[in-house]
Amino acid sequence: MILEKSKIIRLQDLSQAGYVEDDKADFVKDFIRINHIYRSAMQEASTRLDILDSEFATIYNHSPIHHMECRVKTLDSILEKMKRKNLELRIDNVYKLQDIAGIRVICNYVEDIYYLRKLLISSNGFELIRESDYIKRPKPNGYRSLHLIVSVPFVISEGRMELPVEIQLRTIAMDMWASLEHELRYKSGRVFTEAEAAELLQCSKDLAAVDEKMQALFQGPGVGRTSS
Ligand code: 0O2
């Protein structure tokens, strides 16, 4: 199942939202084009992941992907990130951000994440640009996921293009922690006390232990990924 969080952007939507004004006008028009091409790269990558998932399920009788969520970064979020990175408001600077198109792949088990990684980067045309393994080395706050930036080739009416897509792979347990931590931090604009931060870190460790136990249960004594 692929859930797409962002929708197709039209100039009239951005005009209504008050974006198409003075200094931002040219940038906003170019952004619509950019949104389309990144969406194409994202769809290409999510389709490839979906195919790999089905193939895996056919051979091993186990589907590694629980579900996927896709999004192209919103204009607000791009503007905020460019400001944070001190990038001038020019469209060529948008290409310096490598997470304009993003896919979150929620897997059943930790091992599924590394199987998918291997399948994805050995599949034709997809090149790994950058990797951050926050599963082997979780962030100090407890955040765990495998982040890949992959260069994705695709074809549109003007011809062949290649753009980076950020792929975040995580288990259901890792996703639970990240979603709730994000909800607590952003929605309520909360700054965690030391005790709360320690509690969140402990939750992450507990969930990592659950992931390990579920993986062991899945494999069971003598129950592996046998071909059906
Ligand atoms: P969104 O809307 O989720 O995309 P960057 O800051 O992006 O230049 P880098 O190294 O790419 O640097 O960032 P990082 O930290 O590897 O990964 C950024 C994304 O990972 C975030 O995207 C989150 O989706 C996720 N992430 C990273 N750390 C945490 C965390 O502590 N908690 C949660 N809940 N998610 C995290 P954005 O940019 O927040 O936006």
Can you give the pLDDT at residue 228?
Answer: 37
Mutate which of 85, 177, 182 for ligand 1 pocket (most atoms within 8 A of beta carbon): 182
Q: Is 175 in the pocket of ligand 1 (CB under 6 A)?
A: no
Distance in angstroms (rounded) separating the CA atoms of residues 130 and 145: 14
pTM of the model: 0.89
Q: Which atom of ligand 1 is nearest to the CA of 178?
A: 34
CA of 39 to the centre of ligand 1 (A): 19
The residue from 69, 80, 127, 166 that is catalytic is 166
CA of 147 to the centre of ligand 1 (A): 9
Q: Is 76 in the pocket of ligand 1 (CB under 6 A)?
A: no
Q: Is 138 in the pocket of ligand 1 (CB under 6 A)?
A: no
Q: Is 181 in the pocket of ligand 1 (CB under 6 A)?
A: yes
Residue with the two structure tokens 């974006």: 19
**Closest of 33, 54, 47 to residue 4, by C-alpha:** 47
Nearest CA to ligand 1 atom 10: 132
CA of 99 to the centre of ligand 1 (A): 9
Q: Fill in the DSSP letter of residue 22.
A: G
Q: Are 170 and 145 contacting, i.e. CB atoms less than 8 angstroms apart?
A: yes
Can you give the pLDDT at residue 150?
Answer: 97
**Closest of 78, 77, 53 to residue 66, by C-alpha:** 53
Can you give the pLDDT at residue 115?
Answer: 94
Q: Tell me the C-alpha to C-alpha distance, in Å, between residue 77 and each of 37, 94, 199.
A: 17, 11, 29
Q: Tokens standing for 173?
A: 């347990």
Is 166 catalytic? The answer is: yes
Residue with the two structure tokens 């259901």: 172
CA of 144 to the centre of ligand 1 (A): 11
Q: Is 132 in the pocket of ligand 1 (CB under 6 A)?
A: yes
Distance in angstroms (rounded) separating the CA atoms of residues 48 and 118: 13
Q: Is 178 in the pocket of ligand 1 (CB under 6 A)?
A: yes
- The tens-digit pLDDT sequence of the chain (228 residues) is 777 766 666 655 656 655 555 666 777 778 888 888 999 999 999 999 999 999 999 998 999 999 999 999 988 888 899 999 999 888 889 899 999 999 999 999 999 999 999 999 988 889 999 999 999 999 999 999 999 999 999 998 889 999 999 999 999 999 999 999 999 988 667 889 999 999 999 999 999 999 999 999 998 876 545 443
